Structure formats: C-alpha cells, structure tokens
Amino acid sequence: MVLKHPPMGWNTWNTFGEDINEKLIMDTADIMAESGLLEAGYEYLVIDDCWAERERDPATGKIVPDKKKFPNGMKFVSEYVHKKGLKFGMYSCAGVRTCANYPGSFDHEYLDAQTFAEYGCDYLKYDYCFKPDSIDGQVLYRRMGLALRSCGRDIVFSMCNWGKDDVWSWARSAGAHLYRSTGDISDNFSSFKEIAVSQMPKLGYSATGCWNDIDMLTCGMYGKGNVALGGCSDEEYAAQFALWCIFGVPLMLGSDLRSMNEATKRLVTNRELIQIDQDPDGRPPLCLPLDQDSQERFVVFKLLSDGEYALGFFNMSDKKRMLPLYFEKLGIPFASGYGLQLTDVFTGETLEVQRECMTPLIPAHECRVYRAKMVRVAG
C-alpha cells in the first residue's frame, strides 16, 4: 500500500487523553462525516492511548478494549466509523507498556497486528515508551512493520518514536508510512514553533509513501484539554496550520470537534492550504531563515505540481517585523525576466506581480501564505 498523501484526520489524544469512550468516538465520527471535515479530506479517526484494559486477556493473550469505555468492543466502533465513510485508526506501543501504562505490543507484535486487523483497523500509531534496554528500537519497529504487512489488511503504519535513533534514515525501510519526528506538542505558540523549526533541516527525507509527522494539530483547542498549556490566538493557529500544510506533513486535528467554532472550521478546511499540503508531487519545501542565528523569521517555498508554487512568510518573533525576500534565493534572479504572481490563501486577494524582491510587514506570530505562479515580466 502506498500512502500518496500525508494522512488527514482526527486523534483523541490532544484533547481527551484518557477520557475516551464509544460515545465520544461515534459522536465525533458523525461530526466528521456531516460537518464538511470528511469532504475537506479528514478521513482517519484515530483512537490514541488508554482504550484497553490494564492487562491482556490471560486466556488468549490478546489486548482487550476497556469494557466500561467500549462496552460493545472495537469491531462495533470500527463498523460505525466505516459506515460514516471514515477510516479507523488505533494505537499501541513498541514497549512492554504504553506511555499511559496500558499493555504494549512488545513480543506480541504478530498477535496484536492480527487483532487490529480483526477490529477492521486501517491505521496504527505505534509509540515508544517502556522499551526493554536489551533490544534495539529499530528492530521492534521492523517487527511491527512486518506483522502489519502480513496481517491480511492494509493498515497505515504510523511510527511514533519522537525522532529518536535518526528515525528519518530507516523509517521507510521498516515499512512505516509516517514517522513522528518530534516530542509531544502542547497547545501554545512556543511549542509548535519549536517543533516546526526543529524539522526544517530534515524535511527533505519526507516524501510520498513515508511522511515526516510533526504531531497532531492543536488548532481550535484554545487552552482546553489534555495537552493544553496556555492555548493560542486564532492568528497563531493560522500560522500553525499554514506551517503544517507548507511542510507537507500529516494533518491530524486534535481539538474537540463537537464544539469547533467557525474560525477554526474555516481555517482547517482552507482549501488552498489543504491542496498545498496534499500536493501530488509530494516535494519538501525550501526553508530560508532570514536571521543569521535564529529562526525567528523565515520564508518557506514549495514547488507544487502543475508548475505552481507555495510561498510562506512566517514571523515567529514577538514583534511586528519586515520579512525581506530576494527572489534570487528562490532561484529567480532579476536577470531571469520572471516575477511572481501571488494569491493570498487566506483572503483570496491577488497581488500585483512582484519582481526581484518583496518585504511584507507581518505582525508578531503571524504569517502570509501565497499560492504563486512564475510570470514573464520582461523581454
């Protein structure tokens, strides 16, 4: 199975942590299917950690769903999710216990892959806590990669080892479709800024079939929920979503969809940004820092299919700043005779053709993102 685009969906962890149950999943599935999210591309509904009983079934050795949270079992939930036209994702861990101390899949990889296939699972997030010291992490991810390939069902393998052990260099060969490259996001500006900046030198490893995963989005959490530490403004959420899209990484929503406001919905269903994220060429962007020793201001330029481009200016500093860009840094010197025609992805406004350079003035923590075409401006 080839994962042609970075996956889009929703995951329970950011808002709900341990507080998950069948009703939450079914209600969220309804909303995804009926509110335009599925139509916008959000197709995976993923149950993260804390879905199981604390111990395996002693008779079968299988992990079993928590009977209070999921009284009708997982197949029932997955069938409901599928009926809504969505795909169903679950979670386990390469170690002996999950990060929240539920049974992990260590030494049960093949049995568990089989169990996930029986549930009708389409996606498995696979974490890295409680790994025995005696064994190499890469070996354990390879094991689950092979177990999933042989379980008789197409299951997206979402490795989550937080970027340890140079994961970008072997994730693809281990069968992963995506690999988490960072620690956990918190719902505040400095957390997502740090995560994004940390991956700028490594985005070149991300490509069709196996994508760099920089964690679930916090857009729309406004400081509420499991990973909420402060919250963000709408402008900051816009910068977060735009970064994820221009980086071409998975778009997994993490807010409570039952109470999503209009501003969040408009942002996360922004068609232009989603197209930039899901571009069929799957090319990584060029990231150009504008300051010598910091990543406070940067430009991101991504080649899209059909000869188009995405151009983003990110002011991650705490002050309103100019972001001067000379197009020669993008490969378009003055002598080329070409300029850029830019359409703002948030407002739809088209600017006059820009040539040689431009210097947008951008408020603190905000961005400007354009869809661009190269146009001939001189003989």
- Which residue numbers are catalytic? 127, 184
Q: Residues 26, 100, 111, 351: which binds ligand GAL (CB under 6 A)? A: 100
Compute the least distance from the CB of residue 303 to ligand GAL, in Å. 30
Whole-number minimum distance, CB 13 to ligand GAL, in Å? 5
Number of residues that bind ligand GAL (CB under 6 A): 11
Instruction: Considering the complex, state which of residue 162 and residue 170 has its C-beta at the smaller distance from ligand GAL.
Output: 162
Give the separation between CA 113 and CA 145, rounded to whole angstroms.
9
Query: Least distance in Å: CB of 182 to ligand GAL?
Result: 9
Q: Is 213 in the site for ligand GAL (CB under 6 A)?
A: no
Cβ atoms 106, 94 nearer than 8 A: yes
Residue number with the shortest CB distance to ligand GAL?
99
Asked whether 150 and 111 are in contact (CB, 8 A), the reply is no
Select the residue interacting with ligand GAL from 10, 13, 141, 222 (CB under 6 A).
13
- DSSP structure string for 200-237: GGGGGG-BTTBEEE-----TT-TT-STT-SS---HHHH
Among 99, 178, 203, 369, binds ligand GAL (CB under 6 A): 99
Q: Considering the rule CB under 6 A, would residue 160 count as an interface residue with ligand GAL?
A: yes
For 43, the token pair is 């197709």
Tell which one of 43, 109, 127, 272 touches ligand GAL (CB under 6 A): 127
Restricting to residues 39-98, which ones interact with ligand GAL according to CB under 6 A?
48-49, 98
Positions in 182-211 near ligand GAL (CB under 6 A): 184
The least distance separating ligand GAL from the CB of residue 214, rounded to whole angstroms, comes to: 11
- Does residue number 296 form part of the binding site for ligand GAL (CB under 6 A)? no
Kindly tell me which of 168 and 338 has the beta carbon lying closer to ligand GAL. Answer: 168
Closest C-alpha among 64, 113, 66, 120 to residue 88: 120
State the nearest-atom distance from the C-beta of 50 to ligand GAL, in Å: 7
Alpha helices per DSSP H over 248-379: 262-268, 271-277
Q: State both tokens at 35.
A: 């509110």
Strand partners, 97: 103
Pairing status of strand 87-93 against strand 123-127: parallel
Asked if 46 contacts 40 with a C-beta cutoff of 8 angstroms, the reply is: no
Residue closest to 370 by CA, chosen among 358, 204, 378:
358
Residue 10 CB, nearest approach to ligand GAL (Å):
13
Contacts of 23 (CB under 8 A, 6+ apart): none
CB of 99 or CB of 121, closer to ligand GAL: 99
CB 346 within 8 A of CB 310: no
Residues that bind ligand GAL (CB under 6 A): 13, 48-49, 98-100, 127, 129, 160, 162, 184
